[in-house]
Structure 1
Amino acid sequence: MRGCIAVVLAALTLPAGSEVAVSPGPRPVARGTGGAVASPHPLATAAGMRVLRNGGNAIDAAVAVGLTLGVVDGHNSGIGGGCFLLARLPSGEILAIDGRETAPAAATRDMYLDADGKPDPAASRTGPRASGVPGSLAAYDHVLRRHGSTDLRSHLEAAADLAARGFRIDAKYARRIAAEAAALRRWAGPASPLFRADGKPLAAGDTLRQPDLAITLRAIGEHGIKHVYGGEFATRVARWMRENGGVLTEADFAGYTIKQREPVRSSYRGHGIVGFPPPSSGGVHVAQILNILERFPVPDLDDVARTHLVAEAMKLAFADRAHWLGDPDFVEVPAHLTSEAYARTLAGRIDLRKATVVEGPGPAAQTGESGDHTAHFTVVDPQGTWVACTATLNTSFGSKVVIPGTGVVLNNQMDDFSIAPGVPNAFGLVGAEANAVAPRKRPLSSMSPTIVLRDGEPVLTVGAAGGPTIISQALLVVMRHIDLGLPLEECVRRPRFHHQWKPDRLTIETALPAPLREALTRRGHDLAPREAIGVTQAIIRNPDGIFTAVSDFRAPGRAAVAVPRKPEF
């Protein structure tokens, strides 16, 4: 299915396959049988592994991981946020469970414009008007009831015990608290457990105990998710919102429903690629970029030509993202974006000799947010269930709002809408009318849980955290494994790069070799170095049946298998 185009290759600056790896540090890779888990926190991975070893399936384990992350990685995800869960069942059925947040019924197109009609991005990012109705809990409950073998209460109790008992925060968590301390004092309150008794933010090594969150989790276990979607929790949120200028109501929570979507299916060099559909942009644009790359002899290119090519393909896809993508219940997302014919058209716009300016989308601002916000986790069991789930509050600590007495951090997902045409969100992404604010609408996302099939069977799953770079991270792992034949740990470890059209600059990790950087600059790329781009989690089933689980070396996560083949490291 590879298309043919004429290309001119510039002189090769680096020999093919000479990419230089990021120093791995002490982060784990695990190999073995009996199931595998990879997540951004060791305690969450341990929770999932306990479920697998006690006879639960990957769905059960994934819910345990997700709820635990809401306790130990609560600046990134939790029951106050949303998620996309992609799963492949032993029967071959693919599930795409949309637990994305929804805008309140009182939301309006211009709710983030000030009295002068000017956009007020701060209002969509922090405080009472920044939150949509959270959906993670509803998604976990839905998938567990239909495809799990355990009940939600047992997982909630385990998470509640951990919240009450406490855990030592790492340096990353401490940095997040310190960075958001002013907003957290205002919206979570100075008595928040995120602060010491003297008012200073918790430091690395301090124990974080969350008694209010433990009470909330146990109440959900006792009363079911109706405690959140129409019960006491919803009442507390609505009362606080009325008192503080927000618009979320009890009716918004009572009216929330998860959506079962049809996954995005495509192929790449003989492999099936399964991604998440809109309101995720991830599945569409991972498929779109791979379709473009299939028009080129990627395995035969040197590092300079290959990096340049992928960056140019990213640029074209993100231009389309800005214009066409939105909630499919409100707008029609063009089906041709993932077609081979359209990929041939876009491929024809790429010049392998130099960077091109993409003026806009195909036919039919730089900001301060650059971290690994969001949490991806993945689980595989020996019966053949594969789960890839990405959960998020959006930016660090979401809206910074913690409703008194609940311990739950509310998301700031309203910022993922286009609050006004051309106005960038916290990640520098711009949007158009397709992603405008509307009542009960779901904002566009970059979350990209992905499953790769060979001969119809799952062989690889990958996903990431890091705003729009999630798409690039998932893409690079798939491309490096299929085109370069690299082991999974190398696919994750090697330096990353990312282009999102606007701003017109190529973000690169500082570990990218200097000769490669210089060559990219000569081709016309404006480089923006960053120490690290996102956090990836992935699992692969090797030809011998052994699983390799990888938790990104850039963050303090953990990979584990039920029956190790070799010592974990």
Structure 2
Amino acid sequence: MSKTRQTFWPLLAAAALLAPSEAVAAPEERTVAVATVNPLATDAALEIYRQGGNAVDAAITAALTLGVVDGHNSGIGGGCLILVRTPEGEFLAIDGRETAPAAANRDMYLRDGQARPDLSQTGPLASGTPGAVAAYALLSEKLGALPFADLLAPGAQLAEDGFVVSRSLASALRSKARTLRRFPASARELLGDDGHAPAAGDTVTRPDLGRTYRKIASEGPDWFYRGGFAQATDKWMRENGGIMTASDLAGYEAKLRNPIRSEYRGREIVGFPPPSSGGVHVAQMLNMLEGYELDQLFAEDPAQAKHLVAEVMKLAFADRAYWLGDSDFVDVPRRLASKEYARQLAAKISLDHATDVPAHGEPAQWRQDLFGRHTTHIAAADSDGYWVAITATVNTSFGSKVVIPGTGVVMNNEMDDFAIHPGTPNAFGLVGAENNSVAAGKRPLSSMSPTIVLDERGEPLLTVGAAGGPKIITQVLWAIVNTVDRGMSPNKAIAAPRVHHQWRPDVVSYETATPDEEVARLKAFGHRVAPLGSGGRAQLIARDPENGFVAVYDPRIKGKATVENLPATPAEATPLEPAAAN
């Protein structure tokens, strides 16, 4: 394999990029960092830090707060994947992915032999059993410094007292209002008494959701899985043709997984295993790219470099469509992420023209060497040594569009992440095969890709993740390529225009900030091209050479990322102030 120059940005320019507030903490201080898509969630995490919480507490708080103020993207009616690196250098991977209800079956979305994607995307059949509450509680129990109830408090307070509607939330409410009106509890909770979507800058409350948070805080996650929420969900589902029951909720379990660990140009890439596809395919794509002098190629011919990256994406997503699924149910080959298989795939790539990828590849020993049985991302880190990546989702905007009456909880539509019928695209245009078919208790395949990168000594360099369906995987790839290969600062790495290819449809999607000459060259290479409506949303925290932090939110949305030095002594809790619309 060829070796690229050591251009990772901290080795060149980190100290110059750090502002005074991001300097290394004095012994009586600690440095903390957090990045989210909404300032209120970032502020809630900072307040938890001030009360003595660690990065784990801060990240959980941010996730729970986003479920209130950014509820079109994530919430406790959905799921999450969590990756944490502890001060001792150990990794914890918690799978809070939703599961198919016990009554689910592979043909449940067929009517007269035809697939009905509307049933897996909207309404009572669209939801998997939510896993977020169980996952956050498990993480808090294992690594948190504060009680789980404290982490629910900021979100409960905002739901009760009110918060300012962001531009992204207002846009989602406006675009989904008609569908939300089909469900009375959804219309009442999200649109208000007059049934009209709130505008950006309006102040709204979520009293039912606030009461739900308070109940979980006082009675624990059992209230959600075996108490009032489970009973309310069972009742609504029975009355509206759904199949989720109180037994499904009572039987839910967040699972501990073994992270995927791979190497790229001397760095270790730690990702999430199945049912995430991101960990496998980020490793697979980096393995293919490692054989090229990528830094030189980007410097000399950026269009050709992007052509190469698109070809790598295409090959990986062809494998995703066939091989990936819940490894507790189906055989997922480990060697998809091997260097040997990457060389086999890379041999199919031409630097001069686009190649046809009619089907998936076949890694060695695929029968024997197997894994064991719309979205948001939160990045957090602290000078005690915790690095946290949480990706959470209800899938598409407002999930199934169902709010369980009296609870304020928006239910996910993650059943659409299964292959509801081989070859039928889901809401993101992804196709799947038998490995990702519906089965009772099975977790649908996910693109969520919480990732942590370590340096040559095994110390954390960055934590990164993203929102955006299948674009999550390619955003994480771009973050690593832009920092490791191109030597970009974290801010520039996240802001740089992206291209995306997911095999089917066979199109290179590009952000409109991509230079026209590069788009023209991609066409000349033989690619079909199309502009991206949204390039996704990534959050990243990186370490500088002196062990400080740089926190970055994606400039494509008005989030907030911050680094602060705090006193070692915890402060008293202070109320959160409403944020301006973003």
Same fold (TM over 0.5): yes
What is the one-letter code of the residue matched to 2:356? V
Corresponding residue of 1:285 = 281
SS in 2 for 1:426: coil
Q: Distance in 1 between matches of 2:262 and 2:541?
A: 20
Deviation at 1:54, TM superposition (A): 2.5
The aligned residue for residue 501 of structure 2 is: 499
Paired with 1:492 and 1:340, the residues of 2 have a C-alpha distance of: 27
Structure 2 residue aligned with 1:304: 303
Task: Give, as a single letter, the amino acid of the residue that structure 2 aligns with 1:319.
Answer: A
Aligned to 1:553: 555
- Following superposition, the deviation at residue 154 of structure 1 comes to 1.3
Question: For the residues of structure 2 that align with 1:325 and 1:151, how far apart are their CA atoms?
Answer: 37
SS of alignment partner, residue 466 of structure 2 = strand
Matched, 1:214 2:219: no
Residue identity in the other structure for 1:68: T
Q: Which amino acid aligns with 1:561?
A: V
TM-score when normalising by structure 1? 0.92
Contact 1:30 1:550 (8 Å CA) reproduced: no
Offset of residue 47 of structure 1: 0.9
- Which residue does the alignment assign to 1:527? 529
Question: What does residue range 459-470 of structure 1 map to in structure 2 within 5 Å?
Answer: 459-470=461-472
User: CA 1:306–1:31 in 2, change beyond 3 Å: closer, same or farther?
Assistant: farther
Kindly state the Cα deviation for residue 188 of structure 1 after the two structures are TM-superposed: 4.7
Matched residue of 1:474: which SS?
A: helix
Compute the displacement of 1:299 (Å).
Answer: 1.0
User: Take 1:89 and 1:44, find their aligned partners in 2: how far apart are those partners?
Assistant: 23
- Which residue is 1:46 aligned to? 43
C-alpha distance in 2 between matches for 1:187 and 1:524? 46
Aligned to 1:428: 429
SS in 2 for 1:180: helix
2:520 alignment counterpart: 518
Q: Is the 8 A contact 1:29 1:551 kept in 2?
A: no
User: Whole-Å Cα distance in 1 between the matches of residues 187 and 544 of structure 2?
Assistant: 50
* Residue number among 45, 54, 57 corresponding to 1:57 in the alignment: 54
Pair 1:32–1:132, CA change in 2 (3 A): farther
Say which SS state the counterpart of residue 228 (structure 1) adopts.
helix
C-alpha distance in structure 2 between counterparts of 1:378 and 1:247, whole Å: 35
What SS does the corresponding residue of 1:442 show, helix, strand or coil? coil
Match of 2:396 in 1: 395
Alignment-mate amino acid for residue 411 of structure 2 = L
Structure-2 separation of matches of 1:506 and 1:447: 21
Aligned mates of 1:134, 1:29 — CA distance in 2: 42
Q: Is the 8 A contact 1:29 1:548 kept in 2?
A: no
SS in 2 for 1:154: helix
| 1:191 CA displacement | 4.9
Match of 1:151 among 129, 140, 147: 147
Counterpart residue number, 1:295:
291
Q: Does structure 2 conserve the Cα–Cα contact (< 8 Å) formed by 1:29 and 1:559? A: no
Structure 1 unmatched ranges of 5 or more: 5-27, 365-372, 565-569
- The alpha-carbon deviation at position 531 of structure 1 amounts to 4.7
CA positional deviation for 1:405: 0.4
1:56 Cα offset (Å): 1.2
- Secondary structure, in 3 states, of the residue corresponding to 1:35? strand
C-alpha separation in 1, matches of 2:563 and 2:209:
30
Kept in 1: contact 2:276–2:446 (CA 8 A):
yes
The answer to whether the 8 Å contact 1:3/1:344 transfers is no
What corresponds to 1:112 in structure 2?
Answer: 109
Give the 3 Å change call, closer, same or farther, for CA 154–360 of structure 1 in structure 2: same
Match of 2:334 in 1: 335
Q: What's 2:161 paired with?
A: 165
Does residue 1:453 correspond to 2:463, yes or no? no
Give 2:236's aligned residue: 240
Q: Which residue of 1 aligns with 2:16?
A: none
Give me the whole-angstrom Cα distance separating, in 2, the residues matched to 1:407 and 1:335: 41
Correspondence for 1:11? none
CA distance in 2, matches of 1:3, 1:433: 39
SS in 2 for 1:239: helix
Matched, 1:202 2:203: no
For 1:412, the equivalent position in structure 2 comes to: 413
Unaligned runs of 5+ in 2: 5-18, 25-30, 364-373, 567-582
Q: CA RMSD in A?
A: 1.6
Could you report, residue by residue, the CA deviation over 1:95-151 in whole angstroms, capped at 9, with x for unpaired residues? 11000000000001100001x110000000000000011001100100101111111
Question: Would you say how many aligned residue pairs link Structure 1 and Structure 2?
Answer: 532
Tell me, in whole angstroms, the C-alpha distance in 2 between the residues paired with 1:427 and 1:307: 22
Supply the AA of the counterpart residue of 1:222. Answer: S
Given the alignment, which residue of 519, 543, 557 partners 2:545? 543
Secondary structure of 1:192 counterpart: helix
TM-score by length of 2: 0.90
CA contact (8 A) 2:180 2:187 kept: no
The 2-side partners of 1:152 and 1:391 are apart by 18
Provide Cα deviations, 1:240-297, integer angstroms capped at 9, x if missing partner: 0000000000110000001100001001000000000000000000000000000111
- Would the alpha carbon gap of residues 508 and 30 (structure 1) be closer, same or farther in structure 2, given more than 3 Å must change? farther
Structure 1 position 88 matched with structure 2 position 88: no
**Conservation of the 8 A alpha-carbon contact between 1:272 and 1:456:** yes
**Following the alignment from structure 1 to structure 2, what is the Cα–Cα distance between the partners of residues 60 and 171?**
27
- 1:378 corresponds in structure 2 to 379
Listed as ranges, the matches of 1:220-231 within 5 Å are 220-231=216-227
Match for residue 14 of structure 1? none
Match of 1:263 among 231, 235, 259: 259
Q: Which amino acid aligns with 1:499?
A: H
Q: Name the aligned partner's letter for residue 360 of structure 1.
A: A
**Residues 172 and 397 of structure 2 are in contact (CA less than 8 Å); yes or no, is this contact kept in structure 1?**
yes
Change (3 A) 1:190 1:445: closer
Q: Is the 8 A contact 1:31 1:549 kept in 2?
A: no
- Find the counterpart in structure 1 of residue 346 from structure 2: 347
Give the Cα separation in 2 of the matches to 1:104 and 1:197: 33
Equivalent AA in structure 1 for residue 556 of structure 2: R
1:126 maps to which residue?
A: 122
Q: Distance in 1 between matches of 2:86 and 2:555?
A: 29
Query: Which aligned runs of 4 or more in structure 1 are off by greater than 3 angstroms?
Result: 1-4, 28-33, 188-191
Q: Offset at 1:161?
A: 1.1
Inter-CA distance 136–326: structure 2 relative to 1 (3 Å threshold): same
